[in-house]
Amino acid sequence: MNLDFNIESKKLALIQWLTSLNDVSMIDKILELKNKESKDWWDETSDEEKESIEKGLEDANSGKLKPHSEIRKKYEKWL
């Protein structure tokens, strides 16, 4: 509970500081940081990885799946 209070008080302190801030470049830097933090992981994924994920989803949607136990048994010697 104390941790939650500490986080909330830090957020309030930041809000108060932001409302008094008049430095446009500082506000731009904060917005840039916010945008970097909220980027979607998909945007950071390579085309090759995206293709692999999409193929896996297509296989799953069309029922081309094998149970985990079956795969584990097949590759047991390497695990």
The 10s digit of each residue's pLDDT in 13-44 is: 999 999 999 999 999 999 999 888 777 788 88
Q: Name the amino acid, one letter, at 16.
A: Q
What percentage of the chain carries pLDDT values higher than 70? Answer: 96
User: Given a cut of 90, is residue 62 above it in pLDDT?
Assistant: yes
Residues 23, 28, 33, 34, CA torsion sign: positive
Q: Residue 41: what pLDDT?
A: 82
pTM as predicted: 0.43
Distance CA 54, CA 5 (A): 43
Q: Where are the domains of the chain?
A: 1-38, 40-79
